A and B are shown apart, each in its own frame.
Chain A
Amino acid sequence: MKILRRFFIRLSNLATERGTDQRLQEEIAEHLVLQTEENMRGGMTPSEARRQATLKFGPAQAIRERHHAEQSIPFIENLLFDLRYAVRMLLRSPGFSFIAIATIALGIGATTAIYSVIDATLLHPLPYPNPAELVRVMDDLPGVGAQDVGISVPEWRDLESAGIFQSVSVSGTGADVNLTGSAQPERLSYKHATPNYFTVLGVDAQLGRTFDPHDATPGFNLEAVISDGLWRREFGADPHIVGKALRLDNDVYHVVGVMPRGFRDLGSTSEERNTEVWLGAGMAGLPFPPPRRGLRLQSRAVARLKPGLSIAAAQEHLDALVESLKKQYPEEYPSQAAWTVRLTPLSESVVGSVRQSLILLFGAVGLVLLISCVNVANLLLARASVRGREIAVRHALGAQRTRLIRQLLTESLLLFLLGGIAGCAILFFTRKFLLQLVPESLPHMNDISINWGVLAFALAVSVAAGTIFGLAPAWLMSSVDLIGTLRQEGRGSVGSHGRTRARQILVISELALSLVLMVAAGLLLRSFWDLFKVQPGFNPDRVVAIQTWLPGPNDPSQDIYRTATQESVLLREVLRRSRILPGVEEAAIGDVDALPLGHSNPGTLPLIREGIETMDNQAPVIHSPIVSPEYFHLLGMPLLRGRLFSDQDLEDTPQVAVINQAAARTYWPNQDPLGKRVRLHLDARELLNSAKPAWTTIVGVIADARTESLADVATPQIYRSVYQHPAKSLAIFLRGQLDPSTILEQERSQVQAVDPELPVFRAEALGDVLSTSLSVRRFSMEMVAFFAATALLLAGLGIYGTISYVVNERRREIAVRLALGAQRGNILKMVLRRGLGLAAAGAGLGVAGALIVSHLMTGLLYGVSPTDLPTFAGVTLVLTTVALAASYIPALRAMRLDPITTLHSE
């Protein structure tokens, strides 16, 4: 306590320092006067009296100093002094200060921007209590190469009672539902989940309640929890919402709770991210199939581990459980399927897909920061030659080296802090604009913000960078050759050898770093370009897809579109009405899976081939879009063999399918797939009412198209006709001269003229869908390219500064050479050679670094090898050109040096 109090007294002394010292001086003077008078009264002469008084008093100056040292905090005082001096120095050379601060602002601002994205996505991916306890439980069948095949209800019950988890919830991956009864039928994202879902996540409702975690109602339990957004939008934030009815897909639910404002579902698919309604479901009983071990639900299991249990330990318990279950039910888990259950951190499954891109970006931005720091260090060193004399003088006057370093370090820290503040300020004012650049598919985009954590990061980076990159220049600057500098600085300046070497190393590393960035950007650009130029195998031009959704009530008998025949009446009428819309040339219908690149989680079905013995749960899975016969022609997907669907393929005629080449190659290698029969484990509802196994005959093969992902050459597809298989999620494809702003309204009125309860939404031009599918790649590429350009600019400035400095340093020597008759061209060459040497060293190091980096980012590349020669060569060429160009201006200046005036003035 006493120490603390003394500290505060000293701190307050700091402010009143001057006053105190003055007081002391006054008192001393006063005392001396009084003592002198006393001495004179004792009979001394005035001068002797004064001398004796001073002698008696003691050394006044020493007393003052001791008092000062005792009463103040020299560290802070020096700091304030240094800071004052540093500010003066910065103000004295505003050009230097501005460039340095702007460079740092760029580096720190960009790093902070990317960090804020990483903070929201990678560091805080799960907005739930104790997120480390949350895991995803995934069933794999490695024996048949199938991953994440979904969990079955008996397995779920086994897990619940295994003693490994506090609770295990099973939920759909997010789907759509029609909300009717409001002004306009709306399509919402909903999620069915076991009632313990919110308990597992650990979040409670803001109004009302969530589901009763022990509820075991089969099927849906007719309770709904809604999101804050839906509550405000659709119900005007009605405080009495609890208990009100909600009509979803013609089923009536009651709202039991409203989730809090910030609550959002897991974010690995777009449907999940936007979930606005949660329905409690037992996962068994209508409309779910009866529970069987082999019948895996299209769902995901999220569990909360027992407290203190690590994932590894839990996995061990789980492995033992799986082994014993396999022994217990050998028929359900045949050994060739090799059923395993795997735990992964929930956060991983949410952000796994973007991690690599974000880390790449962070790496790139880190390099930019490094380059900007190197550049500032370079500038600081350049100033050393100007300030050499000042430092030497201070040295000569007795300043210790540590004191000088501290002074110089204070200056660089001040620079970096100002730069950091400027960077954050720019970031803050441009954040709206920057957020537009972030692709929408990034999970948790709404959470990106400049919060305290991000600001702390920026501060830490500024201080760390200021210390690291200020220390080296300070060290080099403070080691002055005293005599030499004082003698020479007056004339031409010959900087210390160490300083010159340091600058060259800095420039070389700058060049190397920017080469690494440029290679990364070049490779990404080439990947992107290749993807962009890739022939998708279908023709998206002038095609607009509009979605609509048929309700699927819980009780299938209530469904007016239950069978394909019932649905076909609607579809044919919609198609007929669509074709007469102005501008429409062709129209077709498909389900969402048939929408190229437009769905984030395509459904898959197990493929069972006739004559090949497979259990349902170990069959390979395949995408199976459902389309109307016109689909292939409208999208320009050519038929290679056999036939397409016709209007005569109906529900009561033999089931037919069209496959793509990839499916033919994969499943019937070296065979003619035409006429082969397959069974797709059809959706649950159909399974319930079809006694006979429905065999589907393959009647045609179409060319491969990249409808799943532009990066995938071909995914096997088996197309079925919408007139044989009802589909709920529909996309109406229209080709023609269409005005996107009006077509949605026109199509809506046509569809609702047939059925007023259908929502019609989201008109998308397929061309836009195509480019949106590349948005994450484009974002990474644009960012890295921007950083690379910045780096190149900075490196160019760095080499310019260094060569200028070298030329300046050797002015005298050059002048002598010229005076002795050296050719001006030779001088030019001499200087340029210096620049070229630096560029070559930088490029050599950079290529080595770039090779490492490019191999690390192989996963992000498409169609280009990580050692792509044209990219490497091109980038090296660009860098060398820039380096030469940057050396050219100082070289020109050297060449035009007038020997007479130079030598005279020196």
Chain B
Amino acid sequence: MKEKPDVLQGTLTLMVLKTLDVLGAQHGWGIARRIEQISEDLLAVNQGTLYPLLLKLEHEGSIASEWGVSENNRRARFYRLTAAGRKQLQAEARDWEQTAAIIARFFNVKAEDLT
């Protein structure tokens, strides 16, 4: 069986913030499910690591949480993006795009370009 690649360091934050940005308030399980769906099961998200990250983000003020009722009428904690979180998402997205662009340039480069 082929090993699924682990989530790249730091990208989980970006995924969580983007998920909340797109879908609005979500509870933890929902976020985990979305990330799995979007990555089409290509990434092995250790679901457990998600919760410490959520707590950390909440502490840092990027997201806020409140009690709500889930689709199947359970009490659950819903997370939503704060203004600070939105700013952080923009900054991180920019960083990511920049990194990706740099890496892309490396792949496109040919020997003759460097002479």
- Chain B residues with CB under 8 A of A63: 48-49, 51-52
Task: Say whether A37 faces chain B, with CB atoms less than 8 Å apart.
Answer: yes
CB < 8 Å neighbour of B49 from A20, A33, A58: A58
In the complex, the 5 A-B pairs of residues with the closest C-beta atoms, listed nearest first: A67-B52, A58-B48, A34-B29, A63-B48, A27-B51
Contact code string A66-82 (vs B, CB < 8 Å = 1, else 0): 11001100000000000
CB-based contact B28/A27 at 8 Å:
yes
B32 within 8 A of A: yes
Q: Does A31 contact B (CB under 8 A)?
A: yes
13 more CB-based (< 8 A) A-B contacts, given A58-B46, A58-B48, A71-B55: A23-B55, A26-B77, A27-B28, A30-B28, A30-B74, A30-B77, A31-B29, A31-B32, A34-B29, A34-B76, A57-B48, A66-B52, A67-B55
Given A9-B60, A27-B77, A31-B29; A60-B48 close (CB under 8 Å): yes
B56 at the interface (CB under 8 A from A): yes
Q: Specify which of B27, B51, B60 lies most central, judged by the most chain A CB atoms within 10 Å of its CB.
A: B51
B54 contacts the other chain (Cβ, under 8 Å)? yes
Query: Are B59 and A9 neighbours in the complex by a CB distance under 8 Å?
Result: yes
With a 10 A CB-CB cut-off, give which of A33, A34, A57 has the most chain B CB atoms: A34
Contact B48 A35 (CB under 8 A): no
Report the Cα distance A436→B49, complex, angstroms: 70
In the complex, whether B47 has a CB less than 8 A from a CB of chain A is: yes
Q: How far is the CA of A66 from the CA of B76 in the complex (A)?
A: 24
Q: Is the CB of B47 within 8 A of A56?
A: yes
Chain A hits for B52, CB < 8 A: 24, 63, 66-67, 70-71
Q: Cα distance A35–B70 when bound, in Å?
A: 13
Any chain B CB within 8 A of the CB of A239?
no
Using a CB–CB cutoff of 8 Å, the interface residues on chain A facing chain B are 9, 13, 20, 23-24, 26-28, 30-31, 33-35, 37, 56-60, 63, 66-67, 70-71
Which residues from B are CB-within-8-Å of A66? 52
Complex Cα distance A635/B77, Å? Answer: 101
Asked if B9 CB lies within 8 Å of chain A CBs, one says no
- With A30-B77, A31-B32, A58-B46 known as contacts, the answer to whether A24 contacts B56 (CB < 8 A) is no
Number of A-B contacts (CB under 8 A): 57
- In residues 63-80 of chain B, which contact A (Cβ within 8 Å)? 70, 72, 74, 76-77
Q: Which residue in B49, B72, B76 is a CB contact (below 8 Å) of A30?
A: B76
A794 → chain B closest CB, angstroms: 53
CA–CA, A333 to B112, complex, Å?
A: 97
List of B residues within 8 angstroms of A59 by Cβ: 48
A66 to B55, alpha carbons, bound, how many Å?
Answer: 13
Closest to B51 in A: A27
**Please, which residues of chain A bring their CB within 8 A of the CB of B70?**
34
| Chain B residues touching A, range | 20 to 34
Q: Which B-chain residue is minimally distant from A26 (CB atoms)?
A: B77
The A interface, classified by DSSP as helix, strand, loop or mixed, is: helix
Task: Indicate with 1 or 0, residue by residue over B5-30, a CB within 8 angstroms of chain A CB atoms.
Answer: 00000000000000000000001110
Hey, which chain B residues are within 8 Å of A28, CB to CB?
48, 51
Min CB distance A56 to B, Å, is 6
Q: List 23 A-B contacts (CB under 8 A).
A: A20-B55, A24-B52, A27-B28, A27-B54, A30-B29, A30-B74, A30-B76, A31-B28, A31-B32, A31-B47, A34-B70, A34-B76, A35-B29, A35-B47, A56-B47, A57-B47, A60-B48, A63-B49, A66-B52, A67-B51, A67-B52, A71-B55, A71-B56
Q: How far is the CA of A20 from the CA of B54 in the complex (A)?
A: 11
Cβ distance A77 to chain B, nearest Cβ, rounded Å: 17
* Smallest Cβ-Cβ distance to B54: which chain A residue: A27
* Chain A residue, CB-CB nearest to B60: A9
A27 to B72, CA, bound (A): 16
Which residues of the partner chain B approach A20 to less than 8 Å between Cβ atoms?
Answer: 55
Taken together as a complex, chains A and B put the C-alpha atoms of A30 and B74 apart, in Å, by: 9
Q: Which single residue of chain A is at the shortest CB-CB distance from B27?
A: A30
Minimum C-beta distance from B60 to chain A (A): 7
List chain B residues, Cβ under 8 A from A13: 59
Contacts of B47 in A (CB 8 A): 31, 35, 56-58
* Contact of B51 (CB < 8 Å), options: A31, A34, A35, A56: A31
- Interface set, chain B 82-103, CB cutoff 8 A to A: none
Interface centre among A20, A28, A30, A71 (most CB of B within 10 A): A30
Give the docked Cα–Cα distance between A10 and B47 (Å).
24
Which A residue's beta carbon lies closest to that of B58? A23
Nearest-neighbour CB distance to chain B for A71, whole angstroms, equals: 7
**Smallest CB-CB separation from B71: which chain A residue?**
A34
Q: Is B46 touching A24 in the complex (CB atoms < 8 A)?
A: no
- Give the residues in chain A near B51, CB-CB below 8 Å: 24, 27-28, 31, 63, 67
In the complex, how many angstroms separate the beta carbon of B27 from the nearest chain A beta carbon?
8
Assembly CA distance A858 to B32 (angstroms): 85
Please, which residues of chain A bring their CB within 8 A of the CB of B32?
31
Q: Which residue of B lies closest to A33 (CB)?
A: B74
Q: In the assembled complex, which residues on chain A have CB atoms less than 8 Å from the CB atom of B54?
A: 27
**Min C-beta distance of B36 to chain A, whole Å:** 10
Measured between beta carbons, the chain A residues less than 8 angstroms from B48 are 28, 57-60, 63
B86 vs chain A, min Cβ distance (A): 20
> Judging by beta carbons under 8 Å apart, are A37 and B55 in contact?
no
Residues of chain B within 8 A of A57, CB atoms compared = 47-48
Task: Give every chain B residue within 8 A of A23 (Cβ-Cβ).
Answer: 55
A59 to B27, CA, bound (A): 21
B34 vs chain A, min Cβ distance (A): 13
CA distance in complex: A59, B49 (Å) = 10
How far is the CB of A66 from the nearest CB of chain B, in Å? 7
Question: CA–CA, A58 to B49, complex, Å?
Answer: 9
* Nearest CB in chain B: distance from A22 CB, A: 11
Q: Please give me the residue from chain B that is nearest to A56 by CB atom.
A: B47
Give the complex CA separation of A37 and B71 in angstroms.
Answer: 12
User: How far is A33 from B70 in the complex, measured between Cα atoms in Å?
Assistant: 12
Q: How far does the Cβ of A156 sit from chain B's closest Cβ, in whole Å?
A: 73
In the complex, chain A residues whose CB is within 8 Å of the CB of B60: 9
| Distance between Cα atoms of A67 and B59 in the complex (Å) | 13
Which residues of the partner chain B approach A9 to less than 8 Å between Cβ atoms?
Answer: 59-60
| Residue interface mask B99-113, A partner, CB < 8 A = 1 | 000000000000000
CB-CB nearest in chain A for B75: A30
Taking the nearest CB of chain A, how far is it from the CB of B91, in angstroms? 14
A29 to chain B, nearest CB (A): 11
A70 (CB) vs chain B CBs: closest residue: B52
Q: How far is the CA of A13 from the CA of B60 in the complex (A)?
A: 11
Which partner residue on chain A sits nearest B77 by CB separation? A27
Task: Give every chain A residue within 8 A of B74 (Cβ-Cβ).
Answer: 30, 33-34
Closest B residue to A5 by beta carbon equals B60
A60–B52 Cα gap in the complex (Å)?
Answer: 11
Q: Which residues of A are found within 8 Å of B49, using beta-carbon distances?
A: 58, 63
Central interface residue in B48, B56, B59, B76, by most chain A CB within 10 Å: B48
Return the chain B residue nearest A24 by Cβ.
B51
Q: Hey, which chain A residues are within 8 Å of B76, CB to CB? A: 30, 34
Q: Which residue of B lies closest to A71 (CB)?
A: B56
User: Are B72 and A37 in contact, CB atoms less than 8 angstroms apart?
Assistant: yes
A863→B51 CA distance, assembly (Å): 84
A20, A27, A33 — most chain B CB neighbours (10 Å): A27
Bound-state CA distance A70–B60 (Å) is: 14
Closest B residue to A23 by beta carbon equals B55
CB B104 to nearest CB in A, in angstroms, measures 29
User: Bound state CA distance, A401 and B76, in angstroms?
Assistant: 45
Give the chain B neighbours of A71 by CB distance below 8 A.
52, 55-56, 59
Docked Cα-Cα span, A35 to B76, in Å, equals: 13
In whole angstroms, what is the CA distance A28 to B29 when docked?
A: 9
Q: Which residues of A contact B29 (CB under 8 A)?
A: 30-31, 34-35
Q: How far is the CA of A63 from the CA of B87 in the complex (A)?
A: 28
| A807 CA / B31 CA spacing, docked (Å) | 70
- CA A27 – CA B31 in complex, angstroms? 12
A33 to chain B, nearest CB (A): 8
**Complexed CA–CA distance, A655 and B55 (Å):** 105
In the complex formed, the residue of B with least CB distance to A59 is: B48
Which among A24, A33, A56 is the interface contact of B55 at CB below 8 angstroms?
A: A24
CB-based nearest B residue for A28: B51
Report B6 CB to chain A, min CB distance, Å.
Answer: 12
In the complex, the chain B residue whose C-beta lies closest to that of A58 is: B48
